[in-house]
Amino acid sequence: MKNVRKTAMLTAAVLLAGSAAGCSNNAAPAGSTGSAGTSSTSSAPQAPVELSVMFYTSANIQISHDNNEAIKFLEKKFNVKLNVMDIPINDYTTKQNTIVASGSMPDVMVWNAFPEAALAGYIKQGAFMQLDKYIDAAPNLKKYPQAIWDNVKTDGHFYIIPRVRPLVRTGVYIRKDWLDKLGLPIPKTTDDLAKVAIAFAQNDPDGDGKANTYGIVTDAKMGNLNPIFAAFGAGNGWLKGSDGSLVNSYITPGTNQALQYLRNLYEKGGLSKDFAVQQGNARKEIQSGKAGIMVESYIVDYAQDIAALKKVDPKAELVYIDPPVGPSGVSGYYAGSGNAGGWVVPATTKPEKVKKLMEIMDWEASDEGYKFNKYGLDGIHSTKAADGTIATNEKYISDDIKELIMVSPYDVYSYTDGGAPADIQKIQRDALDKIKDKGIANPVPNFISPTQIQKNEDLNNKLRYDYFIRIITGQLPTSAFDEFVSKWKSGGGDQITKETNDFVKGAK
């Protein structure tokens, strides 16, 4: 830990800056009108509570404790002394497991995923503290949607404070100018979508006289095709069968129907021809003006997509539409768990330290704390104009305010691009309003089967992708889906299904 001191202040700030918003020079969080936290006060000065924190960072800015106004304020506001281990993100998992195994842990540490196999094991071993009573005393944290709290339960209790994310944060967008040129209406069903996608491939929507456009863009992992699988009733992770037991989404009839649908699209040019060899750069086809439909894309990415597309075609229009409705009337997006991991507290952390940590996190989840997240300290990190708008400055960047946030309030609109023009942000906000109630939940969001962890590479990354891609591209007949199901089940899938159903029964 030779660089602990060097970077401790950065992450210490991370932990607390996200929590406290103000500054040692009597500055207040930009836009604030009063204190939202419950800072410790007493008639006699008390010694600062020492807190050790472990966190990962990807920031390139080296922050010193001496000139970081945010850190100064946080330590003063919460009467704490911070000792932070700031670990590069690529080294974090290894460091995290080493620290836990040693038994010498910080007072709080971030865990970057939930559910996660190693964490589940450590919780069973008693390494981390049950936090139920502390959460009950944190009114701002308790404002998180109940679904998010339910998704981080372990055996009916809470061992992690989630870093919240919107449950649904993706949308379908389409080239409206191409629809208008071809005289086509906004597609509403999967059949409508197929007709439009094929027309985009065959009818020269960009008017250049070349056969160089197509409909739906995706890549080899096909993750952004989820609304199509959802429309055919494939299920999000798991699907409840007629007998009440869970069936894995990979092997449902809905998945088979979706593959046949995609096969037809591929054959007629409605789906990108080279998707099987594309690795994570599908959106470049939208940005370059070659593809007309992204069936699932993070709303926050709309700003960069439309900006790049406008450089190629200034008259281009990308509009959000509802997810396609399938043959049985199903439509929607696969809802996430609502977290990007969270914070865990070792069982050895003293109660007075846990209370202080929760005070800080509860402040971060307040409106005042969120203003600090976005604008920093008034007069130091940002300036408020006469019209009420707030502009951040270089100090906001150099003090690395964004890296100083441990948790935040639940904000559906957090997936807008704050640096985008106002009209683009409005499009994003409207899209987030449109999708927020269209999530299809995973019925088992807080469990990963031990066998699934062991077999994931073989069953998911190899077997599933191999069969699905070859069925879609016509290299295998549609009947090959039955062969895939048989291999999936015998290769460990049956055991995964048993373990998952046993977990659900035990949780009731």
Q: Which of 12, 55, 38 is nearest to 163 (CA)?
A: 55
Q: What is the reported pLDDT for 63?
A: 57
For residue 40, pLDDT over 50 is answered with: no
Provide the pLDDT confidence category of residue 17 given band limits of 50, 70 and 90: very low
Lowest mean pLDDT among 70-74, 139-143, 177-181: 70-74
For residue 319, pLDDT over 60 is answered with: yes
Provide the pLDDT confidence category of residue 23 given band limits of 50, 70 and 90: very low
Q: What is the reported pLDDT for 169?
A: 94
353-386 CB burial, b ≥16 within 10 A, e <16:
bbebbbbbbbbbbbebbbbbbbbbbbbbbbeeee
**Burial grade of 177 (CB within 10 A; 0-12, 13-18, 19 or more):** middle
Q: What is the reported pLDDT for 508?
A: 62
294-324 CB burial, b ≥16 within 10 A, e <16:
bbbbebbbbbebbebbeeeeeebbbebbbbb
Q: What is the reported pLDDT for 373?
A: 85
Provide the pLDDT confidence category of residue 19 given band limits of 50, 70 and 90: very low
Tell me, what DSSP letter sits at residue 463? I
* pLDDT (tens digit per residue) in 148-193: 999 999 999 999 999 999 999 999 999 999 999 999 999 999 999 9
* pLDDT (tens digit per residue) in 344-380: 999 999 999 999 999 999 999 999 999 988 899 999 9
Q: What is the reported pLDDT for 217?
A: 96
Task: Give the chain's domains with CATH numbers.
Answer: 4-166+338-410 (3.40.190.10), 170-334+439-448 (3.40.190.10)
Tell me, what amino acid is at 169?
R
* pLDDT (tens digit per residue) in 293-310: 999 999 999 999 999 999
Model confidence, pTM: 0.84
CB 154 within 8 A of CB 298: no
For residue 14, pLDDT over 80 is answered with: no
Q: Which of 271, 263, 258 is nearest to 202 (CA)?
A: 271
Lowest mean pLDDT among 3-17, 385-399, 424-438, 488-502: 3-17
Tell me what the mean pLDDT of segment 469-478 comes to. 98
Q: Which of 331, 120, 122 is nearest to 236 (CA)?
A: 331
Q: What is the reported pLDDT for 248?
A: 97
Q: What is the reported pLDDT for 164?
A: 96
For residue 42, pLDDT over 60 is answered with: no
* pLDDT (tens digit per residue) in 235-288: 999 999 889 999 999 999 999 999 999 999 999 999 999 999 988 778 999 999
* Cβ-based neighbour number of residue 57 at 10 Å: 18
Greater confidence, 53 or 499?
A: 499
Tell me what the mean pLDDT of segment 76-89 comes to. 85
For residue 18, pLDDT over 80 is answered with: no
> Highest mean pLDDT range out of 369-378, 449-458, 482-491?
482-491
Lowest mean pLDDT among 94-98, 297-301, 324-328, 419-423: 419-423
Lowest mean pLDDT among 210-214, 353-357, 416-420: 416-420
